[in-house]
Amino acid sequence: MKKALTLWKGEFIMTEIIFIVEESPEGGYEARALDQSIFTDGETQEELKSNIREALRCHFEKDMPKMVRLHFVREEVFAA
């Protein structure tokens, strides 16, 4: 997967971050960032987005990514 990085003043700055989102067994959603140690959850998609923004502010002191991409993964089981 291609990383979204921009060169600025001799440093690479992340311009986009990608989260894998799965439905939680307890209800709601769980999200984890690719290439970063960021994990969060939320009961609704709107709450999840708000919690992701908060987690990003905590994780990045400066140069926070400008765009967040959510990749929803859903598992479905059915009888053959």
The Cα 55–Cα 51 span in angstroms is 6
Q: According to the model, what pLDDT value does residue 7 have?
A: 46
Per-residue confidence in pLDDT tens, the chain, 80 aa: 445 555 445 555 678 999 999 999 999 999 999 989 999 999 999 999 999 999 999 999 888 899 999 999 998 889 99
Q: According to the model, what pLDDT value does residue 63 have?
A: 82
Q: According to the model, what pLDDT value does residue 15 have?
A: 85
User: Do residues 69 and 3 make contact, with C-beta atoms less than 8 angstroms apart?
Assistant: no
Q: According to the model, what pLDDT value does residue 5 have?
A: 52
Fill in the amino acid letter for 14.
Answer: M
